[in-house]
Each structure stands twice: as structure tokens, then as C-alpha cells.
Amino acid sequence: MIRAVVEALIGVIHEGSYPLVFLLMTLESALIPIPSEVVMPFTGFLVQAGRMDYWLSVASGVAGNLVGSLIAYYIGLKVGWKPLKRVPLLEMKIGHAESFMDRYGRWAVLLGRVTPAIRTVISLPAGMSEMGIGEFIAFTVMGSIPWNMALVYSGMVLGEHWEVVSEYLDAAAVLIILLILVYLAVTLMNRE
């Protein structure tokens, strides 16, 4: 089941190539739940297979991160995050990002870009705190570069061992789906 999804995603990324990587990473950074931990390693798999270029893949991911982060920044600046509190998966992440921003100040944007639970939502508190746009852009790009480089590289390494990885995907998928269902059930029960 998961193997078919993985192969379909690889096919879609290959068909869309760099513009699709840019679009998916833009959506991820604009708070749409498309994990970079999936998109960029698949891109790395295609780099390893000789179908995409490493540096163009990284640049597409970084550019997408910047555009999506600017969208989230302006949401934080103009609206705040209260409207997003109703989204169970975002509420906890945004709360962590806000605490992270309070603790580290403007450096939270740079540090947050390489922190998995915070990287996609750190732009909201940056906008809410009215962080300077130039500094926000610089820290977003500086933090996004190593993240995307590492993810593309991990896909290249995994691509060399795809047969071994694919054996474990179905078992891991069942576990992940069960964890998501438990999380959603607990979240819904706590809301009532």
C-alpha cells in the first residue's frame, strides 16, 4: 500500500520536477500539512537516480520555504494565530513555536528552521512580533538551506538502498496511521 503511494509521489515529483518541489515546499511552509521530510527525500531519490540535480533541488526547496514562510509571516502580522487554534494539529505546534520565539527572540527563526516540530510554524510568531522583514528573510533562507540539503542527501542515501527501505514501509505506515488515529481520538475527546 505505502510502496505504491511512495512510487506515485516519486512519479509526480519527477513529472513536475523543480516547479512542483517549489510548490509543495511553499504549501508546507504556508501551514498546509505536506511534510518536507517526505518531499525532499523523494527528490533526493530522483537526484540519486540521475533524474534531478542536487543543487537545483535544494534551491527549489529553499525558494518554496521562503515564499510559504512569507505567507505565514503575513498571516501572523495581519491576523495572528487565533483563527488557527481550531486546527488540532496546528494548535500545539503554534504554541511551541510561540514559546520558542519568546525564549530565543529573533534567533528563533534561524534555529526554528532546523527544528522539526517548529520549522513550519515559526513564521507566525515572527509576524506577530513584527520582526523586520529583511532579517526574517535572511534567517529563513539561512536555516532552510541546511535543512533541505540534509533531506535531499538523505533521499540520495536511501535511494541507494530503496529495496531495504521499501520492505519496512508498510509496517511503518500501519504504526503511523495508528498513532495518528490515537492522537486524533485523544484530541477530540479533550475538546468535548
Q: Got the DSSP string for 105-117?
A: TTHHHHHHTT-TT
User: In whole numbers, what is the pLDDT of the chain averaged over residues?
Assistant: 78
How many other C-beta atoms can be found within 10 angstroms of the C-beta atom of residue 9?
15
Rounded alpha-carbon distances, angstroms, from residue 16 to 9, 41, 80, 136: 10, 15, 33, 29
Sorted by sequence, the CB contacts under 8 Å of residue 117 that are 6+ apart come out as 93, 96
Q: Which residue has the higher pLDDT, 145 or 159?
A: 145
Rounded alpha-carbon distances, angstroms, from residue 131 to 26, 74, 77, 126, 150: 20, 11, 9, 6, 27
Q: Considering only CA atoms, which of 192, 81, 66 is closest in space to residue 137?
A: 66
Residue where the block lists cell 527549489: 60
Residue 161 above 80 pLDDT? no
| Predicted pLDDT at 73 | 93
The mean-pLDDT minimum among 15-29, 107-121, 144-158 falls in 107-121
The mean-pLDDT minimum among 35-49, 86-100, 103-117, 176-190 falls in 176-190
Residue 174 above 60 pLDDT? no
Q: How much is the average pLDDT of 46-52?
A: 88
Q: Which residue has the higher pLDDT, 10 or 62?
A: 62
pLDDT in tens, 92-113: 667 777 777 778 777 878 877 8
Domain ranges of the chain: 2-161
Output phi, psi for 113, to 5 deg: -65, -20
